[in-house]
Amino acid sequence: MTVLRYSAFTVPPAPGAPAGGGNPAGVVLDASGMGDAEMQALAAEIGYSETAFLLPGGDREYAIRYFSPQAEVDFCGHATVATAAALAEHLLGAGELLLHSKAGDIPVLVEQGERGMRATLRSVAPSAAELRDDDRAELLGLLGWTSDDLDPALPCGLAFAGIWHAILWAGSRQRLAALDYDFEGLKALMLERGWGTVSLLHRESESRIHSRNAFPIGGVVEDPATGAAAAALGGFLRAHALLPADGGFEVLQGEDMGQPCRLEVDASGDGGVRVSGTARRIDG
């Protein structure tokens, strides 16, 4: 069995240098015959926040499963981008793909760009919901935040585009940079509520958002780039009439981890949210 390793949502390179940053993911292009326990064990061995396992179907069509080191998740954006790049480079070339995830069908367009393979996924239809006052208070306590740390101009809440994410807006970039939370406490709350990540955000402008995504249920403190959360955020901003006029914005994530990532989001229209990024192979 071959495990490919790709970094997704890489950032533009410095002059004369390769693309940098990104969130690594494992990709198994043919997981036929692998059971759940075997997939889980391999994901734990690889140690990335997600590893994707493909089961070939029709023409340019695959079932896909995603495993963190500790659990299976229904949808993962950065592993989807990594998978699309791997398929394009090793089997199919550029073009359209259809991935059948537990969250629903995920169409992906993969193209050869100036900085390597570029993939655009379209999420399932997004949803938004209110965050209960008691959950908000518990979240703030687990994070070591207070209400004064929040941006009063932006709504907290819950967002969905395959999995649910709690949404909190930091009032300053400095508050976002200082992340130190109760790992086990937040994990327990997320498991109880069915949240995939907690999205901690700061809005620099309408078209640029800084993000950190706490991911204790996956066995890691945070994810360097979270395409599923970016898609959910696009739906959340759409639901609250907070999108730029063209519906597009960028999410900068991983900066405080030394793994800068760039996710391009297009939430225009009324269907699934499109999330784009580049990917490169990281194991030769």
Mean pLDDT over 53-63 rounds to 94
% of the chain with per-residue pLDDT over 70 = 97
Pair 82, 168 in one domain: no
Pair 256, 165 in one domain: yes
First to last CA, the chain: 17
Pair 89, 228 in one domain: no
Mean pLDDT over 4-20 rounds to 77
State which H helix or E strand residue 252 sits in: strand 248-253
pLDDT surpassing 70 at residue 18: no
Task: Write out the chain in H/E/C secondary structure.
Answer: CCCEEEEECCECCCCCCCCECCEEEEEECCCCCCCHHHHHHHHHHHCCCCEEEEEECCCCEEEEEEECCCCEECCCHHHHHHHHHHHHHHHHCCEEEEEEECCEEEEEEEEEECCEEEEEEECCCCEEECCCHHHHHHHHHHHCCCHHHECCCCCCEEEECCCEEEEEEECCHHHHHCCCCCHHHHHHHHHHHCEEEEEEEEEEECCEEEEEEECHHHCCCEECCCHHHHHHHHHHHHHCCCCCCCCEEEEEECHHHCCCEEEEEECCCCCCCEEEEEEEECCC
Pair 234, 153 in one domain: yes
Pair 68, 171 in one domain: no
List 45, 50, 130, 138, catalytic entry: 50
Q: What is the pLDDT of residues 213-261, one digit of tens each?
A: 999 998 889 999 999 999 999 999 999 999 999 999 999 999 999 899 9
Q: How high is the pLDDT of residue 41?
A: 97
Q: How high is the pLDDT of residue 48?
A: 94
Pair 61, 200 in one domain: no
Give the residue from 159, 151, 136 showing the smallest Cα distance to 237.
159
Domain with 62 in it: 4-122
By residue count, the chain amounts to: 284
Contact partners, residue 33, CB within 8 Å, separation at least 6: none
Domain limit, last residue, from 122, 155, 176: 122
Report the SS3 class of residue 184: helix
Pair 54, 142 in one domain: no
Q: How high is the pLDDT of residue 13?
A: 67
Mean pLDDT over 105-116 rounds to 90
Q: How high is the pLDDT of residue 14?
A: 58
Q: How high is the pLDDT of residue 24?
A: 95
Mean pLDDT over 263-274 rounds to 97
Pair 249, 165 in one domain: yes
Q: Domain for residue 37, yes or no? A: yes
Q: How high is the pLDDT of residue 1?
A: 74
Buried b (16+ CB within 10 A) or exposed e, 95-118: eebebebebeebebbbeeeeebbb
Q: Domain for residue 284, yes or no? A: no
Sign of CA dihedral 17, 18, 23, 25: negative
Per the structure block, which two tokens stand in for 81?
A: 């981008």
Q: How high is the pLDDT of residue 116?
A: 80
Number of independent structural domains in the chain: 2
Domain limit, last residue, from 79, 106, 122: 122
Q: Domain for residue 254, yes or no? A: yes
pLDDT surpassing 90 at residue 173: yes
Q: Domain for residue 196, yes or no? A: yes
Q: How confident is the model at residue 207 (pLDDT cuts 50, 70, 90)?
A: very high
Pair 112, 186 in one domain: no
Pair 56, 31 in one domain: yes
Active site residue 50: yes
State which H helix or E strand residue 251 sits in: strand 248-253
% of the chain with per-residue pLDDT over 90 = 90
Pair 138, 263 in one domain: yes
pLDDT surpassing 60 at residue 15: no
Most confidently modeled range among 8-17, 113-122, 211-220? 211-220
Report the 10 Å Cβ neighbour count for 2. 8
Domain limit, last residue, from 107, 122, 137: 122
pLDDT surpassing 60 at residue 34: yes
Instruction: Give the CATH number for residue 87.
Output: 3.10.310.10
Q: Domain for residue 152, yes or no? A: yes
Pair 90, 192 in one domain: no
Write phi, then psi, for 264 (nearest 5 degrees). -100, 125
Q: Provide the 8-state DSSP code for 162.
A: S
